[in-house]
Structures are given as structure tokens and as C-alpha cells.
Structure 1
Amino acid sequence: MTELTQESTSRTVKTASGQIHYHEAGPADAHAVIMLHGSGPGATGWSNFNGQLRALSDRFRVIAPDMPGWGDSDPVSYEERNHQQAALDFMDELGIEKASYVGNSMGGATSLQVAARNPDRVAGLVTLGAGAGGVRLFGAGDGPTEGLKLLQGAYRDPSPVGMAKFVDIFVYDEAFKSEELVRQRSDNALRHPEHLANFIAGLGRPRRGLVSDEEIASITAPTLIIHGRDDRVVHYEGSLKLCALVPNSRLVLINRCGHWAQVEHAAEFNRLLACHLDDISIDNL
């Protein structure tokens, strides 16, 4: 089998929400799995999920878009950003009636929104490092976490120096805090200054794309919730709340793991994901 690369999996589609760049691998008629990245500067579908594209595409149709405002997709202002609608428009253009969603952080919030409000389009759901709104039980205060403050700082200074501070807090294991990763994220961010400016313009304004507790509790899709015990960006209490609210859900909490379970514990994450997707009834597709 030919090795999958960033170039060989790269695609672009024009949607009602603008042009969306994405990566795709796997059989066109297989179970579609849409993987949504987080909100960090330099985040892309490839940077967050290239390991899953390689590991799972022999059995599933794995699709990892750059959401509008990130990567090589069209820029959007704070006012224009609507990732739920962008996800649905993306599915429509690709001819996908129903898919499973896998969302990291911001991508998890979008996936929850799509699953709660469009249950007929979502076969299964996986969140990793995702939060839930409302009062914090364990986190310190109601302001941004330590990691979110550094994320915002990296938007203002996406140089390798600024990005190194951001990457340092995202992962638990020192082995993953590589110069290559820092350089890749910095290069991605600096290639699209319009994305940086649009994100910075929205800082301090009300968060978008959140769903209420009632909406979360209405989710019917089989749901797997994964969180790092040592996540300093989004505290794992958010996933405890999600598991308490979503009726058909289970939670895996991983020690010695930061905000990127799919990177730091890739083999375990891929096994969990594959088993979850296999368990979804064919009648749900």
C-alpha cells in the first residue's frame, strides 16, 4: 500500500460556507469518519489527525478538514464563524448523508453541536479534550485556563519562540515537545496571517458554538469521551460532565496525557476509536 502523505491526501471543495481544504483517505463507500481539529494557531486537519488517517483508512473513510478560519480553508471573521453549518455544508458537498464525528477541543465542541442539533446526520461521536459549559467544579476560577492563556499568546506571537511556550503545555511527555512540531505549527500559523488576525479580533467576546446542558443530554449517538488526566488546556472535569449528561456514553481518562491524546497515546487512541466505530450498528449508518 502506498504511504499516505500530506500531499497525496490533500483535497479542496467549494461549499456554501466557503472553500474548505481537507485530507481524505480510505474507501469511498466505507463508514465516513469526520475528524475536527482544535483552535490552536497553526492547527489543521493534517497536524491533528495525520496518525489516524494512516492508521484507520484501511477500514474507514477518514476525512480531516481544515475548518473555516484555519489552515488552507477560507478565512472567516468572528461574526461569520459557524462551524456547525460549515460541517453540514461540507458533508453535503461530499455526498455524505451520515458520518461519525471525532472532535479535539474546539472540534469536540463543534461535534457536540452537530450531534445535538442534527441527530440524523451523526452515526457516532468521539470527543477528546473537549469541554462543557457551566460552572467549574475543580478548575481554578472562571477565567481562561493556563493553557488557553498560552494559546492566546501564541496567536499574538506565532514565532517559534512563542509557539514553543504553547506546545510545551499541550503535551505531558517531553518526548513530544519537539523542535519539528514547534516549527511546523509556527509555519502553519505564519502562512495565514488573516486567520491570526480574525481569531485575535474575537478574543474576549462571547464563545461561539456552545450547546446547552439540555441539548447535550439529548444526544442519541453512541459517544466515546477521551480526556488526558494532565490536560492543562481543558480540565478533564468537562468530560466528566459530558459523560454524566450524554445517555449513551462512556469515558476513558488517561494518566500521563495532556491535550493531545491522539498524539501522546496514539496506539491506544486508535484502538479505542476503531472499536467504538466497529460497535456502531450498521442500522445507525
Structure 2
Amino acid sequence: MALDLTEEGTSRFAQTKRWRIHYNEAGEGHPIIMLHGSGPGATGWSNFGPNLKVLAEKYRVLAVDMPGWGKSDPVSAEERDHVAAAVDLMDELGIEKAAFVGNSMGGMTALRFACEHPDRMSHLITMGPGSGGPSIFSAGDGPSEGLKILVEGYRNPTPETMRKLVDIMSYSAGDAGEEVVRQRADAAAANPEHLANFLAGLDRMRPFIDMDALSRCQIPALLVHGRDDRVVHFEHSLKLVTVIPNSRLVLFNRCGHWAQLEHADEFNRLVDDFITHN
């Protein structure tokens, strides 16, 4: 059963040594740090609100706005370092070790964190991250259909564009889609500096995943991907599951880029079972 939580009621700020970071927090127990994906108006709450409400019954859950998104400090592309931001936040809050749940860009941050700070991560859970390298099954090596709409959203962050974004990010957003459209449009309008910084650094964004380091990673890993993901093809998680030794892959049919929202009940059960038994 989901707790009766709101964005406002769970809203927190931490002044770390480098950035002022916003996050939503609820619950007690083993910490789970949730890292949102990219996109105009993306926030920890818009990416993970329904999951936080359920998992907070058993865990201490933090849905973080990374610097450059949401209510956290703006940063340029050169300054952006989400792994460092996560370490700083954990240090400031006194969290020695946590499970990480990362969607898309947040999943890539979690993968990098696992390589660079394995002693600070208990479990690695990703949904729809890129893996780097050439594409094998998907068409071409250029931006995907979803990434093109994502960039359009940064250039033209209207509710209409956000509706197109939500439509392409999900297999079927249903009634929840309009709420996500509103959340993202409001967050984008409230933080125009984030949008400008993202666009200014677009040509310099080349996230690197060290596959050799991942091949030595012993952290238990749960990789989740949507079969119908039009943003990041599921082949990326197929690559990752062949490389990460202690990993398993769950592939959802009728699911796009937001498995945690589109299949929230099953996703929450998977995360709980994985953390409990690994």
C-alpha cells in the first residue's frame, strides 16, 4: 500500500561542499538513492514519486534532483559530475552505503558510481541506461527517436512538447501521463537556466561507461528494460548483463523507457525482493 506522501511534504535540501542539492525523502531502513533520467523538467519526484510512496514503507528512500535539474543548483556541462554529486550528498547526510536505482541518465550515473565507489553501493538497479559503443540491433548510431524529442523539449518546453515527450517515453502512459506532463512543464518553466545549460553543452555530452571496470564489479545488479523503449534500445541492457558478473535482466513487454512508472507495482516488488535477498 502506498503511503500518503506529497512532493512538498517530502522535499528536502542539502548544502554539500560543491552544490545545493534538492531531494525528496521518506521512510526508514536501508537507504535507496533514486537517480532520475535526463530531459526537460525531469526531477526525482516526477521520475519516482509512485515508487517512493511504496518503498518508503520499508526503506529510507531519497529521490534526488541532480545538479542541473529540478530544484538543485544549475551547472554547466563542464561542471556537471553526477557521481561526485551523489558522493557529496551521501557524505552530507551521513549515508555510508546505499542501494542505487537509476533511470536512463541516472542509470549511467549508477553504473559509473559502481565502478568508482563500489564500497559505497550495496545494490545496483538500472532502467534503460545506455552502455556506450556501437549499436547492433537498433537502427544506426545517431540519436534515437526519443532523444530527438527530448532535445526538442529543451528548445521548446511547452505542455504540447512535454506531451509528445511523455508519449514517446512510454508505451502507454494512460491517466498518469497528464500528471507527468504537468510536473515536467512546471519544472522546466521554473528553471530556464537548466535548459539553457543543457543545450549549451549538448555537443560535449559523451557519457563514458567503463566496461572493463564493470566486468570486475561484484555488486549485485538488477537490470530492467522496456521491450518497446524508443529512447534507449534494450540491446544496451543485453550488453550490460553479459558484462556485469553478478547481474540479471528483466525485460518488460509493452513497456517503454519508464519501467518504474509504467509497471510500478511489479517494479516495486522486484526492487524490494532484490534488495531483501541479495
State the TM-score bracket (shorter-chain normalisation). over 0.9
SS of residue paired to 1:108: helix
Distance 1:16 1:174, change over 3 A: closer
Q: Which residue of 2 aligns with 1:45?
A: 44
Q: Measure how far apart 1:179 and its partner are.
A: 3.0
In structure 2, C-alpha distance between the alignment counterparts of 1:159 and 1:105, rounded to whole Å: 22
In structure 2, C-alpha distance between the alignment counterparts of 1:261 and 1:174, rounded to whole Å: 11
In structure 1, C-alpha distance between the alignment counterparts of 2:100 and 2:123, rounded to whole Å: 6
- What TM-score, normalized to structure 2? 0.97
In structure 1, C-alpha distance between the alignment counterparts of 2:141 and 2:8, rounded to whole Å: 42
In structure 2, C-alpha distance between the alignment counterparts of 1:44 and 1:201, rounded to whole Å: 20
Q: Which residue of 2 aligns with 1:98?
A: 97
Matched, 1:211 2:212: no
Q: Which residue of 1 aligns with 2:14?
A: 13
Instruction: List 4+ stretches of structure 1 deviating above 2 A.
Output: 176-181
- Please list, as runs of the form range in 1=range in 2, the aligned pairs for 1:81-230 lying within 5 A after superposition: 81-176=80-175, 178-208=177-207, 210-230=208-228
Q: Is the 8 A contact 2:3 2:57 kept in 1?
A: no
In structure 1, C-alpha distance between the alignment counterparts of 2:3 and 2:166, rounded to whole Å: 31
Q: 1:19-60 CA distances to partner (integer Å, 9 max, x unpaired)?
A: 000011111xx1110000001111101111111111011111
Matched, 1:251 2:249: yes
Distance 1:174 1:126, change over 3 A: closer
Q: Measure how far apart 1:204 and its partner are.
A: 2.1
In structure 1, C-alpha distance between the alignment counterparts of 2:24 and 2:176, rounded to whole Å: 24
Which structure 2 segments of 5+ residues have no match?
Answer: none
Q: Which residue of 2 aligns with 1:283?
A: none
SS of residue paired to 2:8: coil
Q: 1:247-282 CA distances to partner (integer Å, 9 max, x unpaired)?
A: 0000000000000001110011001000001013xx
C-alpha root-mean-square deviation of aligned residues, in Å? 1.3
Distance 1:183 1:206, change over 3 A: closer
Which structure 1 segments of 5+ residues have no match?
Answer: 281-285
Q: Which residue of 2 aligns with 1:25?
A: 26
Identity of aligned residues (%): 58
In structure 1, C-alpha distance between the alignment counterparts of 2:90 and 2:209, rounded to whole Å: 21
Aligned partner of 2:25: which letter? E
Aligned pair count? 277
